[in-house]
Chains A and B, each alone.
Chain A
Amino acid sequence: MLEIKNLHADVNGREILKGLNLQVNAGEIHAIMGPNGAGKSTLASVLAGNPAFEVTEGEITFLGKDFMELAPEERAAEGFFLSFQYPVEIPGVSMVNFLRTAMNEQRKYRGQEPIPASDFLRLMKEKKELVEMQSNLTNRSVNEGFSGGEKKRSEIFQMAMLEPRLAVLDETDSGLDIDALRIVANGVNKLASPERAIIVITHYQRLLDYIVPDFVHVLFDGRIVKSGNKDLALRLESEGYDWIKKELE
């Protein structure tokens, strides 16, 4: 589904990703871990097409399409979703209006008719229950005045509505208390399916107690330097990253 080959990317002229390789197939859950500044969030931004990052070398192929040729909104319509680490507030724009616009723009890209209002509302109700979203959050402006936990839950709710093929969750667990973490993780698990892949970017093993990955990768200095199963995450939790640094020397 997703194939990344020898990816190099700069921000403000500084190279952050230095030849990253990764393959993700449908139905898989991948976790990417690594110390601060390794390039985890840069990877998420580059995949989403954030213009602040410049890809200098390498390839990204998503469902057979060259991702580098597509604008951020086209990538979204092709089925790529990013759950932001810091979701922005958009004052005055209700979540309902925002999501309906997003959904219809994606449908337009795919040559589909706009979704009828009644179907949209039914879908909202269904997905809200799925991710245990309080109903009043959708009537408020996008992320405005939301607590940290509400923002993350709203991201997962948006993911549920937009039904992407590949979702990247960028430190979705940061700033969450244990109850919120459980609710968010449950939501993600309900959205996992054989057609859908999920990449979880995190610092902590504790999220992986709830969202169990098929693969764990260690991102270090702009490259994936080690891959394994969930036991790798447990070892990182107990021993830190020093042993990996030693292995690389």
Chain B
Amino acid sequence: MSEDILEQVTQSEYKYGFTTDVETEIVPPGLSEDIVRLISQKKNEPEWLLEFRLKAYRHWAKMKMPNWAYLKIPEIDYQSISYYAAPKKKNLNSLDEVDPELLKTFDKLGIPLEEQKILSGVAVDAVMDSVSVKTTFKKELAERGIIFCSFSEAVQEYPDLVKQYMASVVPYDDNFFAALNSAVFSDGSFVYIPKGVRCPMELSTYFRINAINTGQFERTLIVADDDSYVSYLEGCTAPMRDENQLHAAIVEIVAMNNAEVKYSTVQNWYPGDKKGRGGIYNFVTKRGICKGKNSRISWTQVETGSAITWKYPSCILKGDNSSAEFYSVAVTNNHQQADTGTKMIHLGKNTSSHILSKGISAGLSQNSYRGLVYVGKEAENARNFSQCDSMLLSDRCGAHTFPYMEVNNDSAVVEHEATTSKISEDQIFYCNQRGIPTEEAVGLIVNGYAKEVLNKLPMEFAVEAQKLLQITLEGSVG
């Protein structure tokens, strides 16, 4: 296969790159205590939350951005970013009150709220820029005692729950971006599943950045009480902009005794153009804690977007017999960079974790897996199996693996396997000979390679993810 065909298949088009003309309320760019106070005031927050934000801000102001990742990050001017943007109309009771332009946006994204409500049984919370627009199915969920609402609403309606669990997994001073988020977070989703309740439907949040020069700093908090179960999905898109936009979110998951939380995300923020201009910086802290006995958390992620992805969805296995999984497909193309992986912190007895990471690099991109498996002194019989595969679609891209292990208990069994492969010309020619053009062949082969992870996604997401993989790599091999 010749070089130029390889180049062709790496030319993808980003189909979510539209903007929506809705009136937006934006605070002026810059970050200061005044801005933090302004955000808190706009959201009518209680005093304790303002104090939390200010504590985080003061801590952040003393911190420096870390530089240990295998990423080239242009200098970010935190004073040029606007930290709050919201579509102007707010506090809506029904879809009729939502700006029709906004609804059109969600239609374009393929999540018509009304239809989704009826057909798919997926409850959706759509977050545009910083404000949660609409949560479907709220009533049906409420009958079972399930809370699924925007974070701001949770602060007003369920302050005790928020106060109890917020920052219990990711403290405000955890890292540079966590501190930033804790100071300026605007909205996000809140989920609480009461004791003994199995959430009957997938809960889904759709994040979208729309306004120019804004950062998006949402917070998601999922709490699964004893003997409960929930599957939560998150999707993300953004319009095409020449400038980079910052996305620094926090996701916290708490699983109590015998609880299970499945968290899946298809991340498709705007990746920048073919020359590497624009795109989202996706610097996110995601962490779950298996707090109770026999609890279980799984992270499944399909990462195709963002100019730079920097995140490690992690699990603290504190409860005895708890288990955690991390399934990831990360695709980078053109000038995209990713440094992503997971941390499995084994603290309880008889805990187990499974890591399956599939990296796919094309174009001039750099794709790194970075993972930590930690086994504490008291963690008798900890088990971990990690498998990290990389696939290269061009000879100018890079794939890197940085596995770290720290084992402090002799009874632990920790295994690590890694492979690197190049998509072979023979495979593509074989497909060609059967009548399959090169682009479709690449899509087929890549989807086959990522299948083990895609199979972990809920059905409707899996189909979307498969298409996404193909679109992302369109024009990248041939």
Instruction: Please measure, in the bound complex, the distance between the C-alpha atom of A92 and the C-alpha atom of B436, giving whole angstroms.
Output: 17
Contacts of A169 in B (CB 8 A): none
Q: Which of under 10, 10 to 19, 20 to 34, or 35 or more describes the interface residues of B?
A: 20 to 34
Q: List 28 A-B contacts (CB under 8 A).
A: A48-B429, A48-B433, A51-B1, A71-B432, A73-B432, A73-B433, A73-B434, A87-B430, A88-B424, A88-B427, A90-B427, A90-B430, A90-B444, A90-B448, A91-B449, A92-B447, A92-B448, A92-B450, A93-B444, A93-B445, A99-B434, A101-B440, A102-B435, A102-B436, A105-B435, A105-B437, A162-B434, A162-B435
Is A141 a contact of B448 with CB atoms below 8 Å? yes
Interface-located stretch among A76-84, A129-137, A176-184, A222-230: A76-84
Knowing A77-B435, A88-B424, say if A50 contacts B448 (CB, 8 Å): no
Instruction: Please measure, in the bound complex, the distance between the C-alpha atom of A162 and the C-alpha atom of B435, giving whole angstroms.
Output: 9
Which residue numbers of B lie inside 8 Å of A, CB to CB? 1-2, 424-427, 429-438, 440, 444-445, 447-452
Is A88 a contact of B430 with CB atoms below 8 Å? yes
A146 to nearest B CB, angstroms? 13
A183 to nearest B CB, angstroms? 22
State the 3 A-B residue pairs at the shortest beta-carbon distance, nearest first: A92-B448, A93-B448, A72-B432
Is A101 a contact of B436 with CB atoms below 8 Å? yes
Is B433 a contact of A76 with CB atoms below 8 Å? yes
Which residue numbers of A lie inside 8 Å of B, CB to CB? 48-52, 71-73, 75-77, 81-82, 84, 87-88, 90-93, 97-99, 101-103, 105-106, 109, 141, 158, 162
Instruction: Please measure, in the bound complex, the distance between the C-alpha atom of A162 and the C-alpha atom of B450, giving whole angstroms.
Output: 27
B301 to nearest A CB, angstroms? 18
Instruction: Please measure, in the bound complex, the distance between the C-alpha atom of A94 and the C-alpha atom of B9, giving whole angstroms.
Output: 23
Knowing A90-B445, A105-B440, say if A72 contacts B433 (CB, 8 Å): yes
Tell me which of B435, B437, B438, B445 has the highest count of chain A C-beta atoms within 10 A of its own C-beta. Answer: B435
Knowing A72-B432, A82-B433, say if A101 contacts B1 (CB, 8 Å): no
B437: which of A73, A93, A158 is its contact (CB, 8 Å)?
A: A73
Knowing A48-B433, A162-B434, A162-B435, say if A101 contacts B425 (CB, 8 Å): no
Is B1 a contact of A105 with CB atoms below 8 Å? no
Add 14 more A-B contacts to A76-B434, A101-B436, A141-B448 (CB < 8 A): A50-B429, A72-B432, A72-B433, A73-B438, A76-B433, A88-B424, A92-B452, A98-B431, A101-B440, A101-B444, A102-B431, A102-B434, A102-B435, A162-B434
Contacts of B429 in A (CB 8 A): 48, 50-51, 72
Contacts of B452 in A (CB 8 A): 92
Is A76 a contact of B432 with CB atoms below 8 Å? yes
Is B425 a contact of A52 with CB atoms below 8 Å? yes
Instruction: Please measure, in the bound complex, the distance between the C-alpha atom of A103 and the C-alpha atom of B436, giving whole angstroms.
Output: 8
Instruction: Please measure, in the bound complex, the distance between the C-alpha atom of A48 and the C-alpha atom of B434, giving whole angstroms.
Output: 10
Is B434 a contact of A98 with CB atoms below 8 Å? yes
Knowing A51-B1, A88-B424, say if A98 contacts B432 (CB, 8 Å): no
A74 to nearest B CB, angstroms? 8
Tell me which of A73, A87, A141, A158 has the highest count of chain B C-beta atoms within 10 A of its own C-beta. Answer: A73
A49: which of B430, B432, B444 is its contact (CB, 8 Å)?
A: B432
Is A92 a contact of B449 with CB atoms below 8 Å? yes
Contacts of B430 in A (CB 8 A): 84, 87-88, 90
The closest CB in chain B to the CB of A143 belongs to B430
Knowing A72-B429, A90-B430, say if A105 contacts B436 (CB, 8 Å): yes
Contacts of A101 in B (CB 8 A): 436, 440, 444
Contacts of B434 in A (CB 8 A): 73, 76, 98-99, 102, 158, 162
The closest CB in chain A to the CB of B451 belongs to A92
The closest CB in chain B to the CB of A52 belongs to B425
Instruction: Please measure, in the bound complex, the distance between the C-alpha atom of A76 and the C-alpha atom of B431, giving whole angstroms.
Output: 10
Instruction: Please measure, in the bound complex, the distance between the C-alpha atom of A98 and the C-alpha atom of B432, giving whole angstroms.
Output: 11
Instruction: Please measure, in the bound complex, the distance between the C-alpha atom of A105 and the C-alpha atom of B435, giving whole angstroms.
Output: 6
A91: which of B2, B437, B448 is its contact (CB, 8 Å)?
A: B448
Contacts of B438 in A (CB 8 A): 73
